[in-house]
Amino acid sequence: MRRGSHDITLVERAYDLSAEDDTWLDGVHEAARPLFDRGFGMTIGTWRMQGSTFTELGHQRGSALPGVHEALSVMVQRLPPDVLARHYGPAASDFIGSVDDIWPEARQVLIDEFTRCGVRGAQDSFGMLVMGTPGQSGMVLNAVSPTTVTLTTRERSRLKRLAAHLSAGLRLRLSIGDGLRHPVAVVSPEGVVAHAEGEARSTSAREALVLAAKAIETSRGRLRRTSPEEALLLWKGLVSGRWTLVDWVDTDQRRYLVAYENPLSMRDVRALTARERDVAECLVQGRSSSEMAYVLGLSLGTISRLSRDVLRKLGVKRRTDLARLFGGIPPLRATLPTEPPVTMLTAGANPELWSRLRESEREVVSALLKGSSPSAIAQARQVSVKTVSNQLGRVYQHFGVRGRTELAALLGAP
């Protein structure tokens, strides 16, 4: 994938609050295209839940060749209900990958649709599914490729960081548009706090905001060209797990960075602090500790401590129990263009999905979701750890999940 200074340009566009929605999407598309386009252009669009109904909004933009958008739309309409729930439901997280990572049969469906729509030479599709508010709103960036797309671990990690910024930017736009946010601090690019209120007035908060402002300015300078990976690492998703810094120009044309409250979690869990709610949201979504640290702008040690506190306060022992705790919600309905409503199954006991597993796989998965390690399962079944790992790998691939937390959210109780 092409890089250069485009990473930081995309992050800057993500936090452009001065643009209207369509103009903002055009800006994100312009910045993302050099990173994604493989000769067929790319599409970008938003979606939003209305009550219990999923509706694709009209903010569809892009530079894709004729027929690409139609083929992609048909492919989405043909996704099974459990796949829709996994990627658009309340327990969903930002997704990075190709259509094969979404659903094993998706690429062949897509190739058939490309052929029908007259798109010649297309073999794969890849991009991002970005959450604004899980289960409520989000954004899709998608590009078509003439070859099968295989992302390296390094590429996937980099795209996850970019998705974190797009998610934070979209989340902030939605909350400001709904009148839920106002600035809590103003910091100069040099790191001088010109104004602060509420909890942003504390010494630790002011220090964190100053360090973040300086890091952002460093990322936007020469480093964006000489070392884009380092520049992206410096610019974290949030400051101290709660604030987002965006540009603001005063009447004298002086540029400042303004801090807004921009929490990740929208769940009302009264036993938890605001920061713990954000960590709980990440745990339910199956994010790794390192990913949580980047998204929330916290240290790994703090993430580890907060994760333990979340489990303790909610009275559960494992991350899989947490996924099931948040899974008890009504089924969603997805209304897709030119198609009848499709029921989206959410986390909770799901006999139909359990029935897809072989008996041996059900036993292994059941033990895993009850907290047993692969080595303990192997010992109990008198097989090798490699055998158990291979079984779990096939199950993960079949359902398109990344680990036991997402599997628990999808299948529900054994």
Q: Cα(397)–Cα(193) distance, rounded to whole angstroms?
A: 49
194-242 residue pLDDT tens = 999 988 999 999 999 999 999 999 999 999 999 999 999 999 989 988 8
Check residue 339 and give its pLDDT: 34
At the fourth CATH level, which superfamily is domain 6-177?
A: Transcription factor LuxR-like, autoinducer-binding domain (3.30.450.80)
Residues linked to residue 268 through DSSP beta bridges, in sequence order:
none
Identify the H or E element spanning 101.
helix 99-102
| Rounded Cα–Cα distance for residues 172 and 194 (Å) | 22
Using the predicted structure, report yes or no on whether residue 301 has a pLDDT greater than 80.
Answer: yes
Q: What is the pLDDT of residues 149-174, one digit of tens each?
A: 888 888 888 999 999 999 999 989 88
Alpha-carbon distances, residue 42 vs 33, 60, 83, 84, 143 (angstroms): 7, 11, 23, 22, 4
The pLDDT of residue 343: 32
| Confidence at 52, pLDDT banded by 50, 70, 90 | very low
Closest CA to 143 of 163, 159, 160, 122: 122
- For residue 129, pLDDT beyond 60: yes
- Please state which CATH class domain 349-411 belongs to: mainly alpha
> Residue 414's pLDDT band (boundaries 50, 70, 90)?
low
Compute CA distances 11 → 19, 79, 173, 307, 310, whole Å: 15, 30, 14, 28, 30
Tokens 């706090």 found at: 193
Q: How do residues 363-381 score in pLDDT, each as one tens digit?
A: 898 888 877 888 888 888 8
Domain limits of the chain? Answer: 6-177, 183-261, 274-325, 349-411
Q: Return the minimum-mean-pLDDT range out of 5-19, 124-138, 293-307, 310-324.
A: 310-324
**Which tokens belong to 145?**
């490729």
Query: 344 pLDDT exceeds 60?
Result: no
More reliable by pLDDT, 181 or 53: 181
User: Left, alpha or beta for 191 (phi > 0: left; psi -120 to 50: alpha)?
Assistant: left
In this chain, the answer to whether the domains covering 274-325 and 349-411 adopt an identical fold is yes
**pLDDT score of 56:** 54
Mean pLDDT of 9-29: 91
DSSP state of 330: P
pLDDT of res. 270: 59
End-to-end CA distance of the chain: 41
Q: Is the pLDDT score of 335 beyond 60?
A: no
User: 274-325: what fold?
Assistant: Arc Repressor Mutant, subunit A (1.10.10)
Tell me how far apart the alpha carbons of residues 152 and 319 are, in angstroms, rounded to a whole number. Answer: 27
**Of the candidates 406, 368, 370, which has an alpha carbon nearest to the alpha carbon of residue 388?**
368
CB atoms within 10 A of CB 412: 21
Whether residue 407 has pLDDT greater than 80 = no
Maximum CA extent, the chain: 74
Parallel/antiparallel/unpaired status of strands 183-187 and 255-261: antiparallel
* pLDDT of res. 132: 84
